């Protein structure tokens, strides 16, 4: 009996159309229903009383964005739990993040939301107006119902084990200082910043191969080519992240004149944002990674990489154009995000100009296989208002393998006269420092990794904006970690960080 209640998404529109044709009044409730509690039961019973059939549309596992460890119960268990309720007539598993596609699927006569949503301040993500418009578009009305209110997320956070002990302790402590509205307002405050992103443009090319084994004569890996995808990396990836949070963002970089690179850039940078120099004698940077096909639930397996990078600095004419673009744009920016990958753009005159002219300078000077031992932050720069580096970059900066990480970060912060400093240590923790505040030690929020490439850039993108707004270091670090937690679930930089997802996962983790 319960199985007959579950309607496949593809055939659901026709099924519900046939019910409406027979005069049935359809009521819809949409959500994740990760932990069904008395509040859900009463909400669904009240919804059922408003029509002839209650349709519950359920977000599929892949599209739940409540943060690490969610959903706690997989979609099959959630379907089975809802189907067991006598007040529920039909359930549809929806392969989308939001509710709009679910509403379009059902065309409800009544669309039900919890009573909390009757207060506009509760809808911090701003999705409700679109949901109301969608319901009315199909002839439906919206009702706010539910005589008892509980929170599945709060119950899960308090009583279940989907969060590691360090993450739970960190978030519970943070929640005492930053309620839901304060967190939302902090993220919203980033929108008004005027941002200039400067740095090396890198295109990450993922070439998927099926490994067939070793060749019989030379013992080299043999693989069958499956396909490839080119993504925006380097400073261009950071530009795309920042655009999700700030309305006014400009981008200064240097690429070659290759037609494919022009098409890629036009697809992601609007004319009013584009301050990129094109030089025919410069090779647009490509980092080509040969990888095995992604297996769901496993981290991507990378075989080897080939870099297309000029061995010499850009020509003098190109450097002059870059300097001119920076002089033109830097005075208008509230904050400059400087991404130095050591691939040619950041020459001494460029570094000097940015350090001398930026109102607020957020610096990320990276070490990689192309520049190892040569692009060390403490040698290349003297000033930054905020800086972020990883453990390898810290070891090179201080000349030590074994160290007291917090103490050495504090020394580096003092050397640069920085207001903020971060050391990201991957699976260990992220250390955040700010003037006159206790050090913030934030554990990694996400344990299930797909691809760690770009996670540090995502962290820096959001943490730097938070620093420019002078947010407390614990909140700024948390925002950066939320961005990094999203990034490790994405292959490379296939998509930018989502602001709605960051808001939803952050508010979920702070719900205690």
pLDDT tens, residue order, the chain (512 aa): 577 899 999 999 999 999 999 999 999 999 999 999 999 999 999 999 999 999 999 999 999 999 888 999 999 999 999 999 999 999 999 999 999 999 999 999 999 999 888 887 777 777 899 999 999 999 999 999 988 888 899 999 999 999 999 999 999 999 999 998 899 999 999 999 999 999 999 999 999 999 998 888 888 889 999 999 999 999 999 999 999 999 999 999 999 999 999 999 999 999 999 999 999 999 999 999 999 998 877 888 999 999 999 999 999 999 999 999 999 999 999 999 999 999 999 999 999 999 999 999 999 999 988 888 899 999 999 999 999 999 999 999 998 889 999 999 999 999 999 999 999 999 899 999 999 899 999 999 998 888 999 999 999 999 999 999 999 999 999 999 999 999 999 988 999 999 999 999 999 999 99
Q: How far apart are CA 322 and CA 251, in angstroms?
A: 11
- The whole-model pTM stands at 0.90
Residue 84 CB neighbour total at 10 angstroms: 12
Q: How far apart are CA 152 and CA 72, in angstroms?
A: 10
Q: How far apart are CA 360 and CA 419, in angstroms?
A: 10
Question: Which residues are registered as beta bridge partners of 92?
Answer: 57
Which among 196, 308, 206 has a CA at the least distance from the CA of 253?
196
For residues 485 and 452, the answer to whether their CB atoms sit within 8 Å is: no
Residue 207: predicted pLDDT: 95
Supply the DSSP string of 385-433, one letter for each residue.
Answer: SEEEEEHHHHHHHHT-SS--HHHHHHHHHHHHT-SEEEEE-TTS-EEEE
Residue 470 CB neighbour total at 10 angstroms: 13
Residue 1: predicted pLDDT: 59
* Spatial strand order in the sheet of 430-434: 248-252, 194-199, 335-340, 361-365, 386-390, 420-424, 430-434, 440-442
Nearest 5 degrees, angle CA 432-CA 125-CA 36?
95
Q: How far apart are CA 31 and CA 59, in angstroms?
A: 6
Which among 312, 321, 357 has a CA at the least distance from the CA of 338?
357
99's enclosing H/E stretch is none
Chain centroid, CA 313 distance in Å: 33
Q: CB pairs under 8 A, 24+ apart, for 257-262?
A: 257/282, 258/284, 261/203
* Spatial strand order in the sheet of 110-114: 90-94, 53-59, 26-31, 110-114, 141-145
- In the numeric block, the tokens 């297996």 are attached to 295
Q: How many CA atoms lie within 13 A of 405 on its CB side?
A: 20
Q: How far apart are CA 216 and CA 221, in angstroms?
A: 10
- DSSP 8-state secondary structure symbol assigned to residue 274: B
Q: Kind of pairing, strands 221-233 and 201-214?
A: antiparallel
């Amino acid at each position: 009996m319960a199985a007959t209640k579950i309607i496949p998404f593809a055939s659901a529109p026709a099924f519900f159309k046939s019910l409406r044709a027979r005069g049935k009044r359809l009521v819809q409730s949409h959500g994740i229903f990760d932990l069904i509690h008395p509040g859900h039961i009463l909400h669904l019973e009240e919804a059922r009383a408003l029509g002839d059939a209650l349709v519950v549309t359920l977000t599929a596992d892949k599209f739940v964005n409540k943060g690490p460890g969610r959903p706690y119960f997989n979609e099959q268990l959630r379907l089975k739990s809802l189907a067991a309720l006598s007040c529920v007539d039909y359930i549809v598993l929806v392969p989308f993040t939001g509710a709009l596609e679910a509403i379009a699927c059902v065309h409800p006569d009544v669309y039900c939301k919890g009573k909390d949503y009757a207060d506009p301040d509760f809808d911090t993500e701003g999705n409700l107006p679109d949901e109301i418009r969608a319901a009315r578009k199909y002839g439906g009305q919206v009702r706010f119902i539910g005589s008892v209110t509980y929170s599945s997320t709060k119950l899960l956070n308090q009583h279940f084990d989907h969060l590691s002990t360090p993450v739970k302790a960190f978030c519970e402590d943070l929640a005492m200082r930053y309620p839901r509205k304060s967190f939302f307002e902090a993220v919203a405050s980033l929108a008004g910043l005027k941002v200039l992103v400067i740095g090396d443009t890198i295109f990450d090319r993922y070439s998927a191969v099926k490994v067939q084994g070793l060749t019989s004569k030379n013992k080299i890996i043999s693989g069958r080519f499956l396909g490839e995808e080119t993504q925006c990396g380097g400073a261009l990836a950071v530009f795309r992240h920042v655009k999700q949070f700030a309305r006014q963002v400009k981008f200064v970089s240097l690429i070659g004149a290759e037609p494919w690179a022009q098409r890629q850039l036009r697809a992601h940078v609007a004319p009013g944002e584009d301050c990129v120099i094109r030089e025919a004698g410069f090779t647009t940077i490509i980092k080509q990674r040969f990888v095995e096909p992604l297996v769901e639930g496993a981290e991507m397996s990378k075989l080897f990489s080939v870099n297309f990078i000029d061995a010499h600095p850009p020509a003098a004419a190109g450097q002059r154009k870059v300097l001119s673009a920076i002089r033109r744009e830097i005075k208008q920016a509230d904050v400059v995000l400087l991404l130095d990958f050591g691939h040619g753009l950041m020459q001494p005159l460029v570094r000097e100009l940015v350090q001398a002219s930026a109102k607020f300078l957020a610096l990320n000077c990276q070490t990689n296989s192309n520049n190892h031992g040569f692009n060390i932050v403490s040698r290349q720069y003297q000033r930054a208002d905020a800086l972020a580096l990883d453990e390898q970059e810290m070891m090179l900066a201080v000349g030590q393998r074994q160290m007291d990480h917090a103490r050495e970060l504090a020394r580096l912060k003092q050397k640069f006269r920085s207001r903020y400093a971060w050391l990201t240590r991957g699976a260990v923790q992220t250390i955040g420092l700010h003037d006159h505040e206790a050090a913030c030690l934030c554990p990694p929020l996400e344990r299930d990794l797909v691809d760690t490439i770009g996670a540090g850039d995502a962290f820096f993108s959001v943490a730097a904006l938070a620093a420019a707004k002078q947010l407390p270091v614990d909140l700024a670090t948390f925002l950066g970690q939320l961005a990094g937690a999203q990034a490790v679930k994405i292959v490379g930089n296939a998509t930018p960080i989502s602001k709605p997802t960051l808001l939803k996962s952050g508010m979920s983790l702070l719900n205690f």
